[in-house]
Amino acid sequence: MNILKQILNFLLSLRTTIWLLGISLVLLFAGAFIMPASEEFQLLHSTPLFEWIQNQPLQLTWWLWSLIGILAVLAVNTLFCSIESIISKRKVTHWLLLISPQIIHVGFLFILLAHLLSGIGASQGMTGAVEGSVIMLSGDDTELRVKEINMNYDSYGYLTDWDVSVEYLSAGDVLYRDMIKPNQPSTRMGFNINVKDLRPFPVEAVLLQINREPGALWALIGGILFTVGIVTLILLKIRMER
């Protein structure tokens, strides 16, 4: 019973939060020096984090393993502190002032969840394509056909704009037609297809990047909640000081 109480006190403590953030910083600092010195981290761009980390030596990944552990404890600490804060201060008059830090915390937890989901299930593939190329998208018979590539250059030879029209095919039939433009990927059937690079000669060609990012929606929700919480908190603080 005593141990349970000690664990609860540990998870409800602001001091714990500060220590966990401090340890996370030390680990991130270590990673910031290990990462640029190791070619192995290049593979992380195309492999989900949890798949990559299991296949790498511990001397490269110890800081990431430790960071994942610390972030897990920090997530529990955040959740416990938020619940405790709402219960203990529920009768305060400025309930918005009470709730806005908790919205920030929920936003943070969603962002952690997003990274967890992406770390498990994200994928990235790249392939070169010219007009008429057909690319197999998934295990079923869905394919992507590059229909047309357009590139516009200014008089100095700088690329000013481009677009690539694509078709999603199933058993030879066109399911959807879409257009990929700068900052406008084709997002169908759980894929995010964008153009990584373009080449005008000898024939117009593109390097397509085909991503699956299962955490993206959660990251967006987390980002919105975090923004709402922090902007509300600052506005309230400014209003209270006046």
Partner 1 sequence: MTILALSFASYLFALWKRPLLYLGLVLQVVYIFSRGAELGRLPLVGPHDTLIFLAASMAAFAAAFGFALKDRSRFLNAVTIVVAVFTAFAMTAKQHNSPLPPVLKTFWFELHVVLAFMSYALFGIAAVFGGVYLKDRQNSSEGLGYRAVLIGYCLFTLSMIFGGIWAYLAWGTYWIWTPKELWTSILWAYYSLYLHARLRPWWMGRPMAVLGIAGFAITMFTYLGVSLLMKSSHSF
Contact flags string 8-27 toward partner 1, x per CB under 8 A: ------xx-xx--xx-xx--
User: CB count, 10 Å around CB of 27?
Assistant: 20
Residue 162 sits in the site that holds partner 1 (CB under 8 A): yes
Q: What would the DSSP string read from start to end of 91-140?
A: T-S-HHHHHHHHHHHHHHHHHHHHHHHHHHH-EEEEEEEETT-EEE-SSS
* Closest distance of CB 2 from partner 1, Å: 25
Residue 230 sits in the site that holds partner 1 (CB under 8 A): yes
* Closest distance of CB 95 from partner 1, Å: 19
Q: Which helix (H) or strand (E) holds 156?
A: none
CB under 8 A: which stretch of 4-12, 135-143, 168-176, 228-236 binds partner 1? 228-236
Contact flags string 31-60 toward partner 1, x per CB under 8 A: xx--xx----x--xx---------------
Q: Which of 156, 145, 67 is nearest to 112 (CA)?
A: 67
Q: Which of 147, 218, 222 is nearest to 177 (CA)?
A: 147
Sites for partner 1 among residues 100-119 (CB under 8 A): 114-115, 118
Spatial CB neighbours of 84, under 8 Å, sequence gap ≥ 6: 12
Phi, psi of 84 (to 5 degrees): -65, -40
Specify whether the CB–CB gap between 176 and 157 falls below 8 A. Answer: no
Instruction: Rank residues 2 and 149 by Cβ distance to partner 1 and give the closer one.
Output: 149
CA distances, 22 to each of 9, 11, 63, 101, 119 (Å): 19, 16, 14, 20, 23
Residue 234 sits in the site that holds partner 1 (CB under 8 A): yes
CB under 8 A: which stretch of 4-12, 28-36, 83-91, 199-207 binds partner 1? 28-36
Residue 66 sits in the site that holds partner 1 (CB under 8 A): no
Report the interface residues with partner 1, using CB under 8 A: 14-15, 17-18, 21-22, 24-25, 28-29, 31-32, 35-36, 41, 44-45, 114-115, 118, 122, 124, 154, 156, 158-162, 182-185, 192-194, 196, 209-211, 213, 215-216, 219-220, 223, 226-227, 230-231, 234, 237
